[in-house]
Structure 1
Amino acid sequence: MDNKNKTRVTEFILLGFQNERGVEFFLFVVFLLMYMTSLIGNTMIILLVCVDYHLHSPMYFFVANLSFIEVTITSTVMPKMLANTFSPTKAISFMGCLMQSIFYFLFGSTEFFILAVMSFDRYVAICNPLRYTIIMNRQTCVLLLLASYVGAFLSMLGPSVLTAPLIFCGPNKINHFFCDRAPVLKLACADISRAELADFIASAVLLLGSLLLTGVSYTYIVITILRIPSVQGRQKAFSTCVSHITVVTLYYGSAIFLYVRPKKGNAVDINKCATVLNTIVTPMLNPFIYSLRNEKVKESLRDTFNKYIGALTNFRSQK
């Protein structure tokens, strides 16, 4: 039958985790707490970098933008996921699903570029410390940030062009908790081999390409650190990279497992768990990784808190 004569899908059903009601409520509480922690923690880092001039440096400029990306990624997925826990239909409109997928992959792709840029920033700081302020000036930082967004958009362009003409006219149940591209493509009433191939190539180039840039930067960083004569100097230099390495390991590990490995068999539940790590857990841990291991951020947080308490005390005493 001609696809034009079939009824077009107007909404999709997000099946989520498909557990018993009690388990779903438990997951709702857990995910809500994780979402709120991620939202508050990342927003706190953004505000600290904005208000404290001690944090007005390229490193913290990119940290704040990374936190912004984390907020947008989780906010693209989590509100609808949480709302569907108590929804009898668990439905999302066709346009809502399309927009969710576009924004998720746009900001997710941007994060990979920002992580690569942050590794370049650490390379310049450690390998060329005397020229750091010249190389990583404000204009360079802004251009690198804009390049990250442009690169993310271009990486999505090919798969999006091949996906846009597809017709959805049959099943509308997505075995996921958000509109991930792979399970959505499987519902199309057309040949999706070209779209899947373009998606795989774009993901491989994006992930492995940005990871290669990060790897090259850290190869030079390690070589430079090993040449530092004092143990204390080596530890101090390496400590500035630990937070970034931790985030890179978490984010790239789960993303490569999801989007670059060959698809063999039915591993939907495993993919869901990996997506939870990529979409919820890593953004939640980001503020703790960058604040608890960073003395300057902790000092800024203490100073800001003390100023707030002092201002509040003065306001109450004047009343």
Structure 2
Amino acid sequence: MESAVSNSKKQNITPFSTKERTLCEGNVVLFRRKGSKRWQARIKRSTGRWVVYSTGQADITAAKSAAENRYRDIKYAQEMGRVDVTRRFRSVCQLCRNELLAEAERTQKDLPKDLVQVIDKYIIPILGDYMCHNVAQAELKKFSIKRSEMLGRNPSSSTVATHNTALNYIFRKAKELNYIEFIPKTINDGDASFKRRPYFNDKELRILNANMWRYLQHGEKLLHAKGKNGIDTISQKTYWIRELLSDVVLILVNTGMRPGREMLSIKCDHSPRNRAMTRMRFPISLCIRRSQDEEEALQRRANYWCHQAA
């Protein structure tokens, strides 16, 4: 209320006092902008946010009546669970964009940045001019067609899943602000025929896990061999790199850890006496619900921890 009154004081050009311009138990405040003869009404919603409407009236008595009618309409819609006010989809996108950027800065995760990119590149250009309550299944189908035209191809299922995550984030924010009555259902119509990225199968993983010591033993023989460096023998630096590679492969195979952020979070403790690694530490993110694959990955991590501690 105080912020609404203070804002109206800055914008208000009128001889009437704040008390004379405040209606409906402080939920409506009238004001006039500089250079305008018509009254504006700042109305407080049930969400705590203030919205501004033009009464279209130059007479304060008529403006009060128009503002009170608008306030009653908004209050009735709120009580009935209907949309009381609406905004452009672009406005909610900008609000979500700011939240995601703040989350990315706080958590240093890539997903919020990916969602911001989807909002900027696809959602705002295609759906930004629609009113929030008008974005339904038909508009989402148009969005899918326009997106394929922009890409020049039918996107993969994983790409569409990321876009749907961004859309659902925006829809939830619009529902929270009471700009929509319900959240439209998003559909993944992406191309599922895209080939999976190359990966190690179970047999190959078992071979790597069982034979990395042979790879390192062969590197040690080359280190002490005589001959031309790089062909018949290797340098000390190359042998250290192979040692590190051997450790990394064993960690990835036995823990299910993914290369990248998870692997870069590994911390090692070294013994200055024998110049050997004594312990390896890495964070484990726990979640309330975990799939069977996640449970197995956590178990492998725990087993590896026990093996290292022993």
- Pairwise same-fold verdict (TM > 0.5): no
The structure that has the greater radius of gyration is 2
What TM-score range do you get, normalising by the shorter chain?
Answer: under 0.3
- Using CA pairs under 8 Å that are at least 6 residues apart, name the structure with larger relative contact order, 1 or 2: 1
The structure carrying a bigger strand percent of its residues is 2
TM-score where L is the length of structure 2: 0.23
Q: Pick the structure with more helix per residue.
A: 1
